[in-house]
């Protein structure tokens, strides 16, 4: 018979002699952790055994450690707090790697705790030994190998501080089994952390601010390019103030969506490879670009040599290593977006720009009449329709987690995010399999699930049939936790984005992209959640409403048009306004959002 697990726990007073495993949980509680995502194994067993004495931390048992890292990531993106995952040594630790790299590329604060073989065995190729600090060195903000119980409190404090401060990122804390088993007097300090080589705070110089103001004052056709830094810094209100004063239209990066309300009259939408036509054109026509908390990713710039040639560029960015990396800028304001805007915005006077806004409206209006949303229902089910309907039925307030590929771009085009932290997606690494586990993490960040109609705390996964199968095992985690998430599979029977590239750039040779999937309805039911199938536009609303009203997780298999493509598209390395357009109506029944 199983030994009963304790129902309540209390922290020990500093000075008490505890095991390293207990000290780990004492430390995690003290830095504010309330949920961890993990999977046990030999080298982390002492920590798991001690965990039962700390029920104030909820442990979510995942089905694969990659899921644990994405859950910690989703929790962090949704909450702004540090997400935590736990795994054993060796394969447990290496299974976290994709999730760690995902978090690194998107600046997600995360702490990954891994067990390590006993210190005496390190370097001996012991069972389940892997040099995880070595493996994760290039994909973490920092990492630690802890060999002694007494070092655990300091390392946990430092790890959380490093993960969350400055430009956030993942931190790995690898703890040997004997450090978990060893005992020492538990010491805890709340004193400020001093790391002599770590300097997360930065501020621009006065003359740089003046130069930025001078450029902004001189602008006739300015554009703001808003990235994730706006969301991280919580600078939406200042951005709204700036836009209100100066009539500056705002284009967003993928990760910047929601940092500026999408339904604001001056919101342009997403820029870049699958940005709307008017956004990319406006960028190429702009004379001043104010880039806020973004890093000129190649998916945003197209050919960097021809990117926004007419524009003077002001780059507000926390990390000086990003300045001039891809695009040479005229002024760099190195600092937190909120701090910089707080200094800059009050110095700017009001200015109206009817000519520039009229020019953009002209480009926009031309596209609006051809918008796919305006097309009549011809009996086909298009992904764009499904996502548009989801936006409508969730009143634009849901937290949406997308995977990677066509559906991700359609979501970015058709789900209008008005609030920050409501779109979670793997932008930098482009990790398929991210969505479902990240949504589980987000669910824990937002608290208990709503049942009924549209609710700002409902969580929707939008995922392709390929990406869903990469981490579908986490449906069991959902069932075991009794949580509710809505899952919309945009099922086109292909690895759609790769298929699209094959259609456009590889002579239509569909190599290894047609994909047979299991019956997703039965798969959902086999995992103990509900499954539904939708094959026509007319069925979308009822299915979404039914999912919202259901007390349990519902997986909806949307069988969409198989060979639809995302338009417009800037081919890799091409100029930003050199866009591939959707073929005309006589060749293809749907139009893109942009002009032809």
**Residues that are catalytic:** 65, 127-128, 177, 497
Q: How far apart are CA 172 and CA 150, in angstroms?
A: 18
Site residues for another protein, 397-426, by CB under 8 A, read: none
Q: Which is nearer to another protein, 163 or 470 (CB)?
A: 163
Q: Which is nearer to another protein, 168 or 396 (CB)?
A: 168
Percentages (nearest 5) of helix, strand, coil residues in the chain: 40, 15, 45
Tokens of 214: 């001078």
Select the span of 9-17, 118-126, 316-324, 381-389 touching another protein (CB under 8 A): 316-324
Q: Which is nearer to another protein, 320 or 453 (CB)?
A: 320
- Beta carbons within 8 Å of 431's beta carbon, 6+ residues apart: 70, 98, 99, 101, 102, 404
Q: Which is nearer to another protein, 88 or 133 (CB)?
A: 133
Sheet of 58-61, strand order? 58-61, 35-38, 83-87, 110-116, 170-176, 142-146
Min. distance of Cβ 235 from another protein in angstroms?
22
Q: How far apart are CA 76 and CA 260, in angstroms?
A: 20
Handedness of CA 415, 418, 423, 429 (dihedral sign): positive
Select the span of 65-73, 315-323, 519-527, 583-591 touching another protein (CB under 8 A): 315-323
Site residues for another protein, 170-209, by CB under 8 A, read: 195-199, 202
Min. distance of Cβ 476 from another protein in angstroms?
37
Which of helix, strand or coil describes residue 520? helix
- Helices 383-393, 406-414: crossing angle, 10 deg rounding: 40
CA 45 vs CA 50, 55, 326: distances in Å? 9, 17, 45
Instruction: Say if CB 389 and CB 245 are below 8 A apart.
Output: no
Instruction: Say if CB 128 and CB 101 are below 8 A apart.
Output: no
Bridge partner list, 60: 37
Q: Which is nearer to another protein, 325 or 392 (CB)?
A: 325
Q: How far apart are CA 42 and CA 37, in angstroms?
A: 17
Min. distance of Cβ 195 from another protein in angstroms?
6
Min. distance of Cβ 194 from another protein in angstroms?
9
Site residues for another protein, 138-157, by CB under 8 A, read: 138, 141-142, 145
Q: How many of the chain's residues bind another protein (CB under 8 A)? A: 21
Tokens of 297: 């990713």
Q: Following DSSP, what letter does each residue of 375-387 receive, concatenated?
A: S---S---HHHHH
Both ends of the chain: CA-CA distance in Å? 70
Q: Which is nearer to another protein, 142 or 388 (CB)?
A: 142
Q: Which is nearer to another protein, 107 or 280 (CB)?
A: 107
Tokens 């002024």: give the residue.
Answer: 331
Specify burial of residue 511 (Cβ count, 10 A radius: 0-12, 13-18, 19+).
exposed
Binding pattern to another protein, positions 96-135, x when CB under 8 A? Answer: -------------------------------------xx-
Tokens of 443: 């669910």
Q: How far apart are CA 128 and CA 124, in angstroms?
A: 11
Q: Which is nearer to another protein, 188 or 198 (CB)?
A: 198
Select the span of 106-114, 137-145, 490-498, 534-542 touching another protein (CB under 8 A): 137-145
Select the span of 63-71, 313-321, 414-422, 440-448 touching another protein (CB under 8 A): 313-321
Backbone angles phi, psi at 367, to 5 degrees: -80, -35
Q: Tell me the longest C-alpha to C-alpha distance in the chain.
A: 78
Site residues for another protein, 318-357, by CB under 8 A, read: 319-321, 323-325, 328
Binding pattern to another protein, positions 282-301, x when CB under 8 A? Answer: --------------------
List 56, 137, 205, 451, residue binding another protein (CB under 8 A): 137
CA 88 vs CA 62, 64, 68, 584: distances in Å? 13, 12, 12, 55
Provide the strand spans (E) within 190-287.
222-226, 250-252, 267-270
Rounded to an integer, what is the distance from CA 505 to the centroid of its chain? 28
Bridging pattern class, strands 486-491 and 569-570: unpaired
Q: Which is nearer to another protein, 79 or 165 (CB)?
A: 165
Q: Which is nearer to another protein, 198 or 501 (CB)?
A: 198
Using rule CB under 8 A, residue 510 touches another protein: no
Which residues sit at the interface with another protein, rule CB under 8 A?
Answer: 133-134, 137-138, 141-142, 145, 162, 195-199, 202, 319-321, 323-325, 328
């Amino acid at each position: 018979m199983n030994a009963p697990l304790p129902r309540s726990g209390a922290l020990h007073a500093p000075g008490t002699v505890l095991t390293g495993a207990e000290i780990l949980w004492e430390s995690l509680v003290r830095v504010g952790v309330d949920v961890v995502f993990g999977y046990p194994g030999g080298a982390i067993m002492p920590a798991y055994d001690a965990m039962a004495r700390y029920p104030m931390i909820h442990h979510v048992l995942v089905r694969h450690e990659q899921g644990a890292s994405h859950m910690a990531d989703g929790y962090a993106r949704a909450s702004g707090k540090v997400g935590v995952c736990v795994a054993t040594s060796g394969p447990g630790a290496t299974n976290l790697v994709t999730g760690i790299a995902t978090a690194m590329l998107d600046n997600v604060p995360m702490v990954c705790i891994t067990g390590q073989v006993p210190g005496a065995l390190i370097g001996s190729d012991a069972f389940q030994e892997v040099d995880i600090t070595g493996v994760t060195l290039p994909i973490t903000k920092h990492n630690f190998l802890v060999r002694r119980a007494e070092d655990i409190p300091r390392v946990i404090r430092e790890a959380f501080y490093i993960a969350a401060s400055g430009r956030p990122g993942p931190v790995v804390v690898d703890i040997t089994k004997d450090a978990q088993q060893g005992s020492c007097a538990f010491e805890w300090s709340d004193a400020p952390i001093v790391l002599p080589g770590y300097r997360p705070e930065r501020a621009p110089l006065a003359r740089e601010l003046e130069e930025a103001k001078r450029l902004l004052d001189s602008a006739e056709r300015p554009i703001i390019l808003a990235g994730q830094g706006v969301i991280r810094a919580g600078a939406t209100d200042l951005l709204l103030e700036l836009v209100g004063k100066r009539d500056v239209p705002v284009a967003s990066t993928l990760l910047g969506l929601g940092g500026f309300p999408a339904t604001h009259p001056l919101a342009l939408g997403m820029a870049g490879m699958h940005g709307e036509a008017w956004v990319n054109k406006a960028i190429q026509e702009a004379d001043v670009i104010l880039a806020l908390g973004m890093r000129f990713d190649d998916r945003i710039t197209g050919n960097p040599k021809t990117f926004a040639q007419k524009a003077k560029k002001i780059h507000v960015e926390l990390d000086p290593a990003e300045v001039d990396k891809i695009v040479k800028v005229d002024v760099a304001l190195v600092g937190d977006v909120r701090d910089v805007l707080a200094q800059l915005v009050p110095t700017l006077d009001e200015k109206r720009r009817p000519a520039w806004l009229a020019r953009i409206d002209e480009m926009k209006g031309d596209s609006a009449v051809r918008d796919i949303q305006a097309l009549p229902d011809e009996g086909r089910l298009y992904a764009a329709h499904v996502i548009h309907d989801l936006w409508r039925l969730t009143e634009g307030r849901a937290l949406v987690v997308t995977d990677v590929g066509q559906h991700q771009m359609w979501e970015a085009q058709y789900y209008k995010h008005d609030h920050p932290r409501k779109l979670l997606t793997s932008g930098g690494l482009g990790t398929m399999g991210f969505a479902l586990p990240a949504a589980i993490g987000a669910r824990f960040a937002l608290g208990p699930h709503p049942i009924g109609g549209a609710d700002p705390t409902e969580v929707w996964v939008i995922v392709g049939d390929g990406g869903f199968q990469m981490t579908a095992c986490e449906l069991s985690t959902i069932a075991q936790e009794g949580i509710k998430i809505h899952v919309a599979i945009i099922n086109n029977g292909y690895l759609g984005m790769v298929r699209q590239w094959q259609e456009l750039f590889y002579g239509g040779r569909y190599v290894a992209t047609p994909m047979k999937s299991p019956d997703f309805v039965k798969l959902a039911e086999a995992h103990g959640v509900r499954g539904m199938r939708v094959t026509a536009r007319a069925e979308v609303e009822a299915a979404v409403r039914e999912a919202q009203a259901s007390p349990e997780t519902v997986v909806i298999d949307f069988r969409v048009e198989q060979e639809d493509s995302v338009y417009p598209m800037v081919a890799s390395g091409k100029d930003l306004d050199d866009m591939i357009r959707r073929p005309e109506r006589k060749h293809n029944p749907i139009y893109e959002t942009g002009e032809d």
